[in-house]
Chains A and B, each alone.
Chain A
Amino acid sequence: MITPVTAILLALTAMLANGEYFLGSSMLSRPLITCTIAGLIMGDVRTGIIMGASLELAFVGSFSIGASIPPEIISGSILGTAFAIGAGKSTAVALTLGIPIASLVLVIKNLCFIFILPYFVHKADRYAEKADGSGIGRMNVLGGFFSVNLPIGLVVGISYVLGSPVIKTVLAAIPKFVISGLGIATGLLPAYGFALLLKMMINKHNAVFFVFGFALAAYLKISVTGVAIFGACLALILTGYSAYKDNHNQGTGNGPKDNNGGVNKAQTGGINYEDEEF
C-alpha cells in the first residue's frame, strides 16, 4: 500500500543513509542498515534484514577508494526493499526493481555534483577571502545538504510514489550520451582541483618534481603511495638528512657533517621560496 507517510519515511531513511557522511562516515548507507530500516517502515523487519544481507553481498565490491564515490546504492536498496516487501516478492525482485532507480539517482547525483555543489565550494572561497569562518561552515553544511542529501531524499520519495515502471520510462527518455557524458565529466573534474592545488604549490624551481611524480606513475605504474615513498627519499637526499641527524649522532659516517644548523641554513639559502608566490 502506497501512502504519503511511507514515502516520506523512506525519503528520510535515504537522507539518514546519506547522512553517514555528516556522521563520521559511519556506514549508515550500507544495505545492511538501510534495508533493515526500510523493512521496519514496510512492517516486515525480518525480511528487510534478510534482503539487506543479500544486497550487502551483491554490493560488496562497491566502496569508495581515493577519489571515486560509490555507485548509488542507497536509493537502490531502500526502494528495492520497499517495492519487494510491498509486492510480497523476493530479494531478486528487490535487486531488479532497485537497479533502474539507482541508475536514475546516479544521473541526478552527477548533475548535482557538476552544477550545484561547485556553487557552494566557490562561495566558500569568497568567505575565506573575508576571513568568515562561519560562512565556510555554512557552505559545508548547506552544500552537502542541498546538492546530495535532499536530492536523494526527494528522488526516493517521489520514485516510491510513482513506482518502478515510471522510473524506467524516465530513464529511457534521457539520451544515452548525456548520461555517459556526465560520467566522463566527473572523470575530468579532478583536473580542476589539481590545477588549483598546483597554483598554490608550483614555481619554476620545483616544477621538475611534479614531472618526476607524474613520470613515475605514468611510466612505471607506481601507485600514489609508492610515489610518495620515492618523493620522501628524494626530499631527504636533497635536503641532506644525514647532516641533520649528525647533530645528535656523531660518526654514522655517511654524508657531509654539518654540526651547526645555522651553516645548513646558509647553504640552502639559495632556495628562496618567499619571492615565488603566484
Chain B
Amino acid sequence: MKMKSSKHITHKDLMKVFWRSFTMEWAWNYERQMNLGYAFSLVPVLKKIYSNSKEKLAEAYKRHLAFYNVTPWLSTFPLGISIAMEEQNADDPNFDPESINDVKVALMGPLSGLGDSFFWGTLRVIATGVGTSLAIQGNILGPILFFLIFNVPALLTRYYGLFVGYNIGSSFIEKVQKTGLMDKLSYGASVLGLSVVGAMVATLVTIKMPYKIGTGTDAVTISKIFDGIVPGILTVLFTLFIFWLDKKGWKAAWILLLIAGIGIFGAWTGILGGI
C-alpha cells in the first residue's frame, strides 16, 4: 500500500460500533468466547478503513475473530483502541499488525478484573439490593429500579469507553509512530500479551483427574501427581496438544468432537472429574 488508504473515522462510524457492541455476548462460545461479537462490532469500521484492499480487510476480519473476552460493558474500550490501531495499520506499511491482537489480549485481563469487580461486585449488588427490597413487598418499582440502576451507568461506560479508547489509541500510536518506536511497541505488546495468555491457560482450562491411586491415607489423585511435577501441567499439555492437532491440519469439527468425546469418555471411566 503506497497511498494513504484509511478514510477518517467519524463519530457516526463509531456510533455504529457502539450499537453493534450490544451483541458482544450473543454468540458467546467456549472456544473463542466473544470473538463473533467483537468482529461483528468492527465490521463497518474495518470495511471503511480497508476499502481499497480486500486482502487486508480479510486479514483484519481474521484478526478480530480470535479469542476474546472482557466484561461486556467495558468492551467498547478495547474496540476503540483496536480501531485506532487498524487505522494506523492501513496508513503505515511498517506497522506490525500482530501488535493489534497483542494489545487487545494484554487489556483483557486487567479490564476484566476491573470490570467484573465494579459491575458484578458493586453495581449489581446495589441494584439487586434496592430492587429486591422493594420487590419482596410486591412493588413494581423493584424490578424497574433494578433495571435502571444497573443499566444507566453500564450504558454510559459503554458509550464513553469507546471514545476514550479511540482517542487514547490514536494519540498514543501517533506518538509511537513519530518517535519511531513501533518495533518496541509490538515487542512489548507481545511480551505482555503472551504472559496473559499463559496465565489464562493456567486458570481457564479445567482438567481434573480425581481417580485415586493407592489405598487409604496414601491414596493420591492423578491430578495431584501431575501437579506435583508442574502445577497445571495437564492444562498446558492439553492446549499444546490441540495446538499441534490444529497445525497438523485437523478440521475444527473433528477437534470439537474429539474434545466432547474425551469429556464423555473421561466421565464414563471416571478418569476425568467435574469442575
Chain A residues within 8 Å of B, Cβ to Cβ: 21-27, 30, 32-33, 36, 45-47, 49-50, 52-54, 56-57, 60, 63, 65-67, 69, 113-115, 117-122, 124-125, 127-131, 133-134, 136-137, 139-141, 143-144, 147, 176-178, 180-202, 206-207, 209-219, 222-225, 227-232, 234-236, 238-240, 244, 247, 261-262, 264-265, 268-269, 271, 273-274
Q: State A125–B29 Cα separation when bound (angstroms).
A: 14
A228, B106: Cβ atoms under 8 Å? yes
Main secondary structure of the interface of A (DSSP, over half): helix
Q: Which residues 229-275 of B have a CB within 8 angstroms of A?
A: 230-232, 235-236, 238-240, 242-243, 246-247, 252-253, 255-256, 259-260, 262-268, 272-275
B40 interface residue (CB < 8 Å to A): yes
B131 interface residue (CB < 8 Å to A): yes
A32, B128: Cβ atoms under 8 Å? yes
| Cβ 8 A contact of A197, one of B66, B128, B180 | B66
B194, A202: Cβ atoms under 8 Å? yes
Q: Which residue of A lies closest to B243 (CB)?
A: A195
A190, B128: Cβ atoms under 8 Å? no
B146, A213: Cβ atoms under 8 Å? no
B132, A32: Cβ atoms under 8 Å? yes
Most buried by B among A23, A122, A133, A147: A133
A235, B191: Cβ atoms under 8 Å? yes
Q: Which residue of A lies closest to B272 (CB)?
A: A184
A197, B67: Cβ atoms under 8 Å? yes
A213, B197: Cβ atoms under 8 Å? yes
B195, A125: Cβ atoms under 8 Å? no
Known A-B contacts A24-B155, A181-B266; A144 and B253 likewise in contact (beta carbons under 8 Å): no
Which residues does chain A contribute within 8 Å of B154, judged by CB atoms?
24-26
Which residues does chain A contribute within 8 Å of B231, judged by CB atoms?
218-219
B190, A185: Cβ atoms under 8 Å? no
Q: State A31–B172 Cα separation when bound (angstroms).
A: 43
Q: A197-B67, A224-B203, A235-B192 are in contact. List 8 more A-B contacts (CB 8 A).
A: A32-B128, A56-B131, A121-B252, A136-B61, A141-B27, A191-B205, A240-B184, A264-B181
Which residues does chain B contribute within 8 Å of A207, judged by CB atoms?
194
- How big is chain B's contact interface, by range? 35 or more
Total of A-B residue pairs, C-beta within 8 Å: 435
Known A-B contacts A130-B58, A201-B102, A214-B199; A113 and B142 likewise in contact (beta carbons under 8 Å): no
| Cβ 8 A contact of B37, one of A140, A228, A231, A236 | A140
Q: Which residue of A lies closest to B47 (CB)?
A: A133
B65 interface residue (CB < 8 Å to A): yes
Q: State A218–B207 Cα separation when bound (angstroms).
A: 13
Sample of 10 A–B contacts (CB below 8 Å):
A21-B23, A140-B36, A185-B260, A191-B239, A193-B67, A214-B198, A218-B231, A227-B109, A228-B195, A235-B189
| Cβ 8 A contact of B275, one of A32, A118, A139, A184 | A184
The interface stretch among B4-12, B80-88, B110-118 is B110-118
A193, B32: Cβ atoms under 8 Å? yes
Q: Which residues 89-117 of B have a CB within 8 angstroms of A?
A: 96, 98, 101-102, 105-106, 108-110, 112-114, 116
Least Cβ–Cβ distance between B230 and chain A, in angstroms = 7
B29, A238: Cβ atoms under 8 Å? no
Known A-B contacts A144-B23, A182-B260, A223-B113; A201 and B197 likewise in contact (beta carbons under 8 Å): yes
Most buried by B among A21, A67, A190: A190
Least Cβ–Cβ distance between B76 and chain A, in angstroms = 10
A129, B274: Cβ atoms under 8 Å? no
Q: Which residue of A lies closest to B56 (CB)?
A: A131
B65, A128: Cβ atoms under 8 Å? yes
Which residues does chain A contribute within 8 Å of B2, judged by CB atoms?
none
Which residues does chain B contribute within 8 Å of A189, judged by CB atoms?
30-31, 256, 259
Q: State A119–B155 Cα separation when bound (angstroms).
A: 31
A188, B138: Cβ atoms under 8 Å? no
Q: Which residue of A lies closest to B19 (CB)?
A: A24
